[in-house]
């Protein structure tokens, strides 16, 4: 960290004059944008827009993920001075990344929310800018996938999760974080045969054809072998990555709505994410971080690290 820079930098979310490079602002002060990126609605020259979706009205258990984007942004200040560890390149130096702020929506008109989010993401993609979204509960991935599929066609999906989220739900008007992926398949947004779910540890007999590496299989294989299998399934297909923070064992991420024991450690997930470098990642999200259920802040810290890894994965195939 540059001590001289730390003496003078403050509120880089508003005062920085570029979209690349580290920020040496004191981690405990200033406005908390994601990784101290500049807040802007002008996407001219922006490679990736980080945006928040503070929505948690589709949960089946504990709410609180509406505070996830704010918590993840605050936690990310710890990472803003340094290159992401172990990548051999710095995505913050090589790519223009902006904090696009949060989605605005009427909390009292939940039925209008899906279209509002889809339009929000589609507007970013229309400017040839990728997205990394901070949730919010896992329902938000469905409108995001709709926007991505309209631009790129059906995608492969890489899902880290304790739950498959493919429970049967043929009522397309229902807004439920546990059925979003069933609907995504039925709508033709993702191709299960070239997609993979990682960390599953709840029973759901209807897999819809997804490749699954469940939590016990992860433990048996080890992170390097898991990463190899993920890459073999995804190959060079355009892929969207969605990371439900409850994929992590509750010992590492207690601040979430539907925690399930027996999951992977943060160290294992870090190794897997680094070792899948080379997948053709189009965008991603981190969901289900619920700060009210974690006074330590560890879950938001994990969410911030995952979002940074998604940025690094996106940039890996586009370097130079």
SS3 state at 69? helix
The whole-angstrom separation of Cα 298 and Cα 307 is: 14
- Contact (CB, 8 A) for 290 and 73: no
Q: Is 246 annotated as a binding residue?
A: yes
DSSP 192-246: GGG-EEES--S--S--TT-EEE-HHHHHHH-HHHHHHHHHHHHTTS-EEEEEEGG
Asked whether residue 138 is marked as a ligand-binding residue, the answer is yes
Q: Is 169 annotated as a binding residue?
A: no
For 30, phi and psi rounded to 5 degrees? 85, 175
Query: Over the range 160-181, which residues count as b (16 or more CB within 10 Å of their CB) and which as e?
Result: bbbbbbbbeeeeeeebbbbbbb
The residues pairing with 197 across neighbouring beta strands, listed in sequence order, are 159, 212
Q: By the 8 A CB rule, do 305 and 270 touch?
A: yes
For residue 168, CA distances in Å to 111, 172, 196 come to: 20, 11, 19
Nearest Cα neighbor of 281 from 303, 312, 320 is: 312
Cα 313 to chain center, whole Å? 12
* Residue 206 is labelled as binding a ligand: no
Cα–Cα distance between 117 and 249 in angstroms, integer?
29
Report the binding-site residues: 138, 161, 163, 165, 244, 246
Q: Binding site membership for Mn(2+): which residues?
A: 138, 161, 163, 165, 244, 246
């Amino acid at each position: 960290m540059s001590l001289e820079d730390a003496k003078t930098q403050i509120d880089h979310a508003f005062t920085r004059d570029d979209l690349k490079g580290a920020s040496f602002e004191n981690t405990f002060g200033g406005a908390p944008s994601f990784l101290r990126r500049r807040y802007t609605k002008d996407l001219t020259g922006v490679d990736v827009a980080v945006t928040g979706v503070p929505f948690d009205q589709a949960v089946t258990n504990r709410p609180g993920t509406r505070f996830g984007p704010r918590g993840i942004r605050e936690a990310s200040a710890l990472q803003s001075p340094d290159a992401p560890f172990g990548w051999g390149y710095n995505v913050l130096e090589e790519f223009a990344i902006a904090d696009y702020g949060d989605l605005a929506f009427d909390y009292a008109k939940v039925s209008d929310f899906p279209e509002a989010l889809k339009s929000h993401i589609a507007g970013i993609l229309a400017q040839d800018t990728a997205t990394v979204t901070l949730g919010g509960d896992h329902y938000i991935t469905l409108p995001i996938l709709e926007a991505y599929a309209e631009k790129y066609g059906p995608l492969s999906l890489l899902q880290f999760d304790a739950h498959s989220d493919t429970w049967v739900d043929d009522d397309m008007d229902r807004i439920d974080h546990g059925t979003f992926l069933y609907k995504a398949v039925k709508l033709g947004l993702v191709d299960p045969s070239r997609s993979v779910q990682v960390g599953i540890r709840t029973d759901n007999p209807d897999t819809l054809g997804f490749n699954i590496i469940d939590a016990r299989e992860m433990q048996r294989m080890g992170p390097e072998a898991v990463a190899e299998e993920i890459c073999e399934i995804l190959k060079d297909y355009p892929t969207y990555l969605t990371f439900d923070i409850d994929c992590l064992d509750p010992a590492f991420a207690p601040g979430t709505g539907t925690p399930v024991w027996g999951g992977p450690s943060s160290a294992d997930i870090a190794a897997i994410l680094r070792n899948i470098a080379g997948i053709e990642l189009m965008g991603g999200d981190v969901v289900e971080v619920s700060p009210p259920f974690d006074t330590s802040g560890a879950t938001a810290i994990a969410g911030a690290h995952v979002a940074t890894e998604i940025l690094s994965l996106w940039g890996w195939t586009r370097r130079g």
